């Protein structure tokens, strides 16, 4: 017997009207309107202008409420926290992109993989191609080490 696939909206699907979102967040609908005006939460809009909240919006509303009530943070402080969290997320995303680009560039240049070569210069100025982690072994060291006791 074939069953129909179960519908599961993602966290960003705008499915809750303001009264349902307010009930899920444990606050009054007027509070949601105020948070929207302040830019703390940005629900989607219908063609008629009605607000539609996603699961992610409801979670954000709960976090705003927690920061406000439990931590005693002002709404201006919460706005700043949320802006900084957005900035951190954007920067982390950019770091992931740059790491991927760097890995691609290294792979294209032949770095880091098996057979990758490292170059070193010996004591007389000769250049050696080595495997990663390998060192040049001089026949005889001509280094002079001067030791002086610590004057403390």
Sequence-distant (≥ 6) Cβ neighbours of residue 136 within 8 angstroms:
120, 121, 122, 128, 130
Residue-wise pLDDT tens digits, 57-80: 999 999 999 999 999 999 999 999
Q: Give the residue, 105 or 36, on which the prediction is more confident.
A: 36
Query: What is the structure's pLDDT at 34?
Result: 93
**Are 16 and 53 in contact, with CB atoms under 8 Å apart?**
yes
Inform me whether the pLDDT recorded for 82 exceeds 90.
yes
Domains of the chain: 18-107 (1.10.1660.10)
Q: How far is CA 89 from CA 75, 86, 96, in A?
A: 21, 5, 11
Q: Give the residue, 130 or 80, on which the prediction is more confident.
A: 80
Query: What is the structure's pLDDT at 98?
Result: 95
CA distance 33 to 51: 9
Q: Is the dihedral of CA 119, 120, 126, 131 positive or negative?
A: negative
Token pair of 31 as six digits = 């509070």
Q: Is the pTM above the cut of 0.95?
A: no
pLDDT band, very low/low/confident/very high, at 142 (cuts 50, 70, 90):
low
Q: Give the residue, 70 or 151, on which the prediction is more confident.
A: 70
pLDDT band, very low/low/confident/very high, at 104 (cuts 50, 70, 90):
confident
Residue-wise pLDDT tens digits, 4-61: 667 566 777 888 999 999 999 999 999 999 999 999 999 999 899 889 999 999 999 9
pLDDT band, very low/low/confident/very high, at 151 (cuts 50, 70, 90):
low
């Amino acid at each position: 017997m074939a069953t129909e696939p179960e519908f599961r909206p993602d966290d960003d699907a705008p499915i809750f009207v303001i009264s349902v979102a307010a009930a899920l967040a444990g606050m009054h609908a007027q509070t949601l309107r105020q948070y929207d005006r302040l830019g703390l939460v940005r629900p989607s809009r219908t063609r008629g202008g009605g607000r539609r909240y996603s699961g992610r919006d409801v979670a954000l509303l709960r976090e705003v409420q927690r920061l406000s009530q439990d931590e005693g943070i002002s709404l201006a402080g919460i706005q700043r926290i949320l802006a900084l969290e957005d900035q951190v997320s954007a920067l982390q995303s950019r770091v992931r992109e740059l790491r991927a680009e760097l890995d691609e560039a290294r792979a294209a240049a032949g770095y880091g993989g098996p057979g990758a070569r490292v170059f070193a210069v010996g004591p007389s100025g000769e250049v050696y191609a080595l495997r990663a982690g390998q060192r040049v072994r001089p026949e005889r060291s001509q280094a002079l080490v001067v030791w002086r006791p610590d004057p403390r």
